[in-house]
Chain A
């Protein structure tokens, strides 16, 4: 009983191709009576099935009605709705079975990285994350209280599941004799690379005018927090750089 036409659609069949159209359409029109006959046959079967399956009132109504306006038997419609809804449910289920793993795969890196569920989300440095400690050389390389040193550093990272070395850049400042500050180069507003202005003695951001002091504290403009820092250790008068301390 899955093959419709249903009684309601049957009268429309002859109208499908107006005979004023192309030859192809005329053929369609010529076929129409046979489709109508099929529809009528199907109609009869419908009525029989309905009678067989004990919906007596519908069957009686179908027999009593004049052939031009067949009544709408309730039972096949209920079945039709049921079948269509079941198909919809199966389709939705199949879609979910395929789509959920794909969505999970796409968001796998996001569920792995450290998340801050804060109302005021901040920028995140785009630098590949160093996974170990790196020697930046003797402490005496960095002048006390002077301009921060822009230093290219090769650090161990993991990109795309592959452990490898990457070159990143950091600023190293030495505000006091026995302290160093290792700064990420990205403005904490939107991530543009801050430059040390020799004249202004400040880090200036070329995007929206943010300014930071030599040890990375935000001074003016839109940046919401100090420049991100790397773990810094002084051992035997040598400077070691650890992982990035994720933005506060």
Chain B
């Protein structure tokens, strides 16, 4: 007997398979619908490569970094780690795009509200994976991003310290932190993820794939019809015009192949980055998170003052709750983006905000340790040259650019005289209105020469 026939006689899966691949799905299900399956594909890649890495990785502050070096030296080690790293980034992108597709098509509406809610939880789980995952190499980026990340989480009112100690395994960031991040990354999150993905997929198959929104409904309204009956009639009509599911699977496969090739090329050509081993005493290191947390990192520039922890907490909590409860906030029946302009515009604004903050975060200002200034002094008066000296001694170049050199924390002063008068500059130095520290201790003579020097910056 043919082995497949033999197995099927005992398992009886053939009919289930046929019900799965032959079931009709709406006609207008297209390339945008491959984003979910691409996310699933990357989750499988992550689990597989993660298992490979776990065979060599040592979760201890003393040995983690060396075990990463060891993995990179093994056959396929650097490749597997590279794929794990790059598909993590790809996963963040794809789960984001998948969420946007569902949002802009309003596919979270009846009867798929619960599918959205579970999806929102899966989205947060994915960020949890990203956060716990990049501490594990125990390099500089890992260590300092975790210092900042745990402090952000610790800003919750009342329970902040408890949350922070829970994340770090105490007040300090030590090997205890590493082992618990490891445990969460390879046990707690994957178990929760598999459960969530299972239910999410079950619901997708049970309810069928949402048809793309139409500007004019495919069925006529019937007076007094319930939401359930109307939806059933509408979806049946969509399916009558549709095609069997297996025809769409080819698109999913093509997207998976493209993603695998891209991730593979990045893994080989760029590899997984690794900075120097974590040094808790590294004064002078400039901490920056992985790109997908740059937006949150950048947001910390804009909220300051005593209420900052509360604002961070409230913004995060309200943002998440709105995300989670979206199907209950947007309860209208319309699904086409042009028939729900408010939601569409808000969605576009949120995306623009995230992209903008990420870009700003990538270019975030840093105080410079190089305080030398190169200015052509041939045209300057004695007083102006003395002012240049004051500029250097007082360390203005730590934060300000002048003729292309200096820090970027403050505004570029190369053309300051075109923007501000001498009095305004003096006011700004003595009693700044913004984030600049006050320099009230500059001697009056030094101030005069400094202003004289800056007046040449046109």
Having A24-B12, A127-B280, one finds 11 other A-B pairs with CB under 8 Å, namely A109-B165, A115-B161, A115-B165, A117-B161, A123-B155, A124-B161, A124-B165, A198-B371, A208-B304, A219-B438, A220-B432
Is B280 a contact of A123 with CB atoms below 8 Å?
A: no
The reply to whether B166 and A121 form a contact with Cβ atoms under 8 Å apart is no
The secondary structure that dominates the B interface is: loop
Given A119-B157, A124-B154, A197-B369, A168 and B175 contact (CB-CB distance below 8 Å)? no
Chain B residues with CB below 8 A from A67, complex form: none
| A22-B12, A197-B367, A221-B435 known; A208-B283 Cβ under 8 A | no
CB within 8 Å for A190 and B395 given contacts A121-B309, A126-B168, A208-B300: no
Within A221-239, which residues are at the interface with B (CB < 8 Å)?
221-222, 224
| Binding-face segment, B145-153, B236-244, B347-355 | B145-153
The residue from A111, A129, A194, A205 contacting B171, defined by CB atoms under 8 A apart = A129
* Interface flags, A186-228, vs B, CB<8A=1, else 0: 1001111111111111101111110100000001111010000
- The verdict on B162 contacting chain A, using a C-beta distance below 8 Å, is yes
CB <8 Å contact, B284 and A195: yes
Chain B residues within 8 Å of A28, by CB: 12
A sample of 19 cross-chain residue pairs with beta-carbon separation below 8 angstroms, ordered by A number, consists of: A22-B9, A25-B15, A109-B169, A113-B161, A121-B154, A123-B151, A123-B154, A124-B151, A124-B154, A126-B172, A126-B173, A128-B172, A193-B284, A199-B394, A219-B437, A220-B432, A220-B438, A222-B304, A224-B305
**Chain B residues positioned under 8 Å from A195 (CB to CB):** 283-284, 367, 369
Cβ-defined contact, A185 with B283, below 8 A: yes
Q: Is the CB of A208 within 8 A of B287?
A: no
Q: B330 interface residue, CB < 8 Å from A?
A: no
List of A residues within 8 angstroms of B9 by Cβ: 22-24
CB contacts under 8 Å to A, within B301-335, are 301, 303-310
* A25–B305 alpha-carbon span in the complex (Å): 70
Q: A21-B15, A112-B170 are in contact. Are A220 and B398 (CB under 8 A)?
A: no
| Interface: B67 (CB within 8 A) | no
Chain B, residue nearest A202 (CB): B437
Q: Please give the residue numbers on chain B whose beta carbons come within 8 Å of chain A beta carbons, in ascending order.
A: 8-10, 12, 14-15, 144, 147-148, 150-152, 154-166, 168-176, 180, 280-287, 297, 300-301, 303-310, 365-367, 369, 371, 392-399, 409, 432, 435-438
B317 to chain A, nearest CB (A): 14
B218: min CB distance to chain A, Å: 30
B268 → chain A closest CB, angstroms:
33
If the complex has contacts A25-B12, A119-B158, are A124 and B367 also in contact, measured as CB distance less than 8 A? no
Q: Is the CB of B306 within 8 A of A224?
A: yes
Residue of A107, A121, A202 near B161 (CB, 8 A) is: A121
The reply to whether the CB of A160 lies closer than 8 angstroms to some CB of chain B is yes
The reply on A65 being an interface residue by CB < 8 A is no
Please give the distance in Å from A164's CB to the nearest CB on chain B. Answer: 10
- Say whether A169 contacts B281, CB under 8 Å: yes
